[in-house]
Structure 1
Amino acid sequence: MAQLVEFQNTSCYATSKDEANFIYKEIFEDGCYDVSNLPEAPFVIDAGANIGMFSLYMKHKFPRSKIIAFEPAPETYGLLRRNLELHNLADVEALPLGLASTASTEKLTYFPNLPGNSTLKPEEKQQLYEMAVERNGREAANKRFDGAQKLDVKLERLSNILNSHPSFTQIDFLKIDVEGAELEVLRGLDDSHWGLVRNIVLETWDASGVRDEIENLLRAKGFTIKCEEAGWAKGFYMISASRGI
C-alpha cells in the first residue's frame, strides 16, 4: 500500500519507505546523477524512472527542464504519475514502457516489497538475494524479495520514441537505472541520435557482465568515461559519460 514519505527537500508516494529513503539519499544527498555541463533548460531521458525521484530532483534543480520518464511496472508507473501530479510538475511526460534494443513484450519480475529491484533479468536478483541473506539473514531477505510476480510489460526502442518528439535539438542527459538491461537501452539508439547525446549516467552491476561492453560502446561513440564503484554494495558501478558541447 502506498504511503506519503516526507524528505528534507521533497515528498513522494511509495510502497516501500525504506527503498524510497535509499533512493532519496542516493540522488538528493549523494548526488549520484550530478553532471556539471547542463544548460538551464535541459532535455532529459529518465530510463527506469521508478516512482519519479530522479525526475523530481531534476525539476528541483532545473525548473525549465523537459523530461521523458519511462517506467514499465504498472504499480510503480501509477506512483510515478501520482508523484508528478503531487508536485504539479510541467514538461514531464511519463510513459508506461521499458527501453530495449527491439520493441517487444517481455516478462518483468516485479518485487512488490522492493519494486526498485524489479527486473527483466531475474537470474541476477537471485545473486542479490543471496547477498542479502549473507548480510541480513534469510528472514530479512525473504521479507524484501518474497511475493515476486511475473508481469507482461511493453518495451520500445528509445530512438522510436525520440522520432515522435522532433522538437528537441540535443539530449542533454540520459539517465539509466534499469536493473541489468543498461546495454539494451543503449542499443536502442540509432546513429542519428547518438550524436545528440551529451551526458549519460548509468548504474550497472558486474553480475550483469556488460560493464566492459558498455564502456567500449560509449568510447566508440566519442564519450569520455568515468567509472566508480558505488558505495552501497560491492560490484555496483556508476558510469558517467560526457562529451564537450
Structure 2
Amino acid sequence: MSFKNYISKLVFCNGISNSFKTFTALIINSKRYSSRFKKNTLDLNNNETFVYHLKSGKNKFKFYLRTFKGDIDIFYEVFWRKTYDRHLSFLKKEPVIIVDLGAHIGMTSVYLALKYPHSKIYAIEASSENFELLKVNTEAFKNITCIHAAAYFEDGMINFGNNELSYNQMISENGDPVKALSIETLMRTHDLSHIDLIKIDIEGGETELLSRNNSWLKLVDHTIIEIHTPYTPSDLRDDIQPYGFEIKSEKDSVLFAAKK
C-alpha cells in the first residue's frame, strides 16, 4: 500500500470509529489479516470476531467482523473505497425498495441504509454463518429486513457454501442445504410490486438467476451487479436488454444497468 493510501485509511478509520478502542482494533486487525493473507497462512476455521463501534453522521452502530475470514476486506471496499458510489450516482432519486442479493454480513445493506434512510431494504444471504452476523450487524437499522435464503431462478433447496473466505461462499455440491428463493416468491411474500434497485453479488449464481425465469426484471428499475467468470458483460447485456435495460457504467467486475 502506498503511503498516501495508508494515510487515507488511517483518516477513514479515525472518522468512522466511535471510540479509540475501535480505531486501534481496526488498524491492528487489518494488519494481522493482511499479513496472513499475503503469506497464504489464513486459517479459515478461525472464527475470531471483534465488535467495532462505528459512527456515520448522527448514526451510531456496531459491526461484528471476523478477523481472518475476509470481512475486513469487504468493510474497507464498501465504506472506505466506496465501491458502489460511482454507480449510485446515476440514480435520480432515493430508491423506495432496495433488494440486496448476497448481503454477506450486512456491509452493503448498512451502507445503503445510511445513504438512503427512507428506503426499505431486503437483505438476502444464504450462508448460515454469515446470516447470523447479518442479523446483529443490521439490528440498529429498522428499514433492513434480513432473509436467510439463496437467491435462485426457482424455489427449492440447494447446497451452499464451502471452506472459502466468507465472501466467496457459493452453490456447491459439498455445501450445506439451504432454501432457494426466486425473486418472484420474494416479491410475492413481501407484497412488492416494484423494485427500484437490486444489488446482485452471488458468486456466479447470477448466470442462472438472470438467464432463467427472469421475467421479474420487468419490475426492476436499476441493478448493480458483480459478475464472475465465465459470465461476461456481453452475457449480462443479452439477458437484460429484452427488459429495457442499458448498461450505464462498468468498473472492474461491477456493472450498473438501468431502464432506458
TM range (shorter): 0.7 to 0.9
Q: TM-score, normalised by structure 2?
A: 0.70
Q: TM-score, normalised by structure 1?
A: 0.74
- Find the aligned partners of 1:120 and 1:217 in 2 and give their Cα distance: 21
2:128 counterpart (40, 62, 74): 74
Contact residue 183 and residue 210 of structure 1 kept, 8 A? no
Secondary structure of 1:198's aligned partner: strand
Q: Letter of the 1:74 partner, please give it.
A: S
- Find the aligned partners of 1:108 and 1:170 in 2 and give their Cα distance: 28
- 1:96-111 to 2 correspondence within 5 Å? 96-111=148-163
Q: Letter of the 1:196 partner, please give it.
A: L
Structure 2 residues not aligned, in runs of 5+? 1-46
- Find the aligned partners of 2:118 and 2:193 in 1 and give their Cα distance: 15
User: Aligned pair in 2 of structure 1 residues 39, 226: CA closer, same or farther (>3 Å)?
Assistant: closer
**Is 1:48 aligned to 2:102, yes or no?**
yes
**Is 1:195 aligned to 2:218, yes or no?**
yes
Map Cα deviations across residues 188-239 of structure 1 (whole Å, 9 max, x no partner): 6653x3222111011112x333543222111221111145352xxxxxx112
Contact residue 226 and residue 255 of structure 2 kept, 8 A? yes
Q: Report the more deviating stretch, 13-22 or 215-224.
A: 13-22
User: Aligned pair in 2 of structure 1 residues 3, 110: CA closer, same or farther (>3 Å)?
Assistant: farther
Q: CA RMSD in A?
A: 2.4
User: Aligned pair in 2 of structure 1 residues 27, 12: CA closer, same or farther (>3 Å)?
Assistant: same
Shift of 1:117: 0.7
2:180 counterpart (133, 152, 155): 155
1:58 counterpart (104, 109, 112): 112
Contact residue 217 and residue 240 of structure 2 kept, 8 A? no
- Find the aligned partners of 1:74 and 1:27 in 2 and give their Cα distance: 22
1:4 counterpart (51, 56, 65): 51
Contact residue 157 and residue 188 of structure 1 kept, 8 A? no
How many residues are paired up?
A: 206
User: Aligned pair in 2 of structure 1 residues 57, 38: CA closer, same or farther (>3 Å)?
Assistant: farther
2:198 corresponding residue in structure 1: 174
1:239 corresponding residue in structure 2: 255
1:128 corresponding residue in structure 2: none
- Find the aligned partners of 1:72 and 1:62 in 2 and give their Cα distance: 24
Paired-residue identity, %: 25
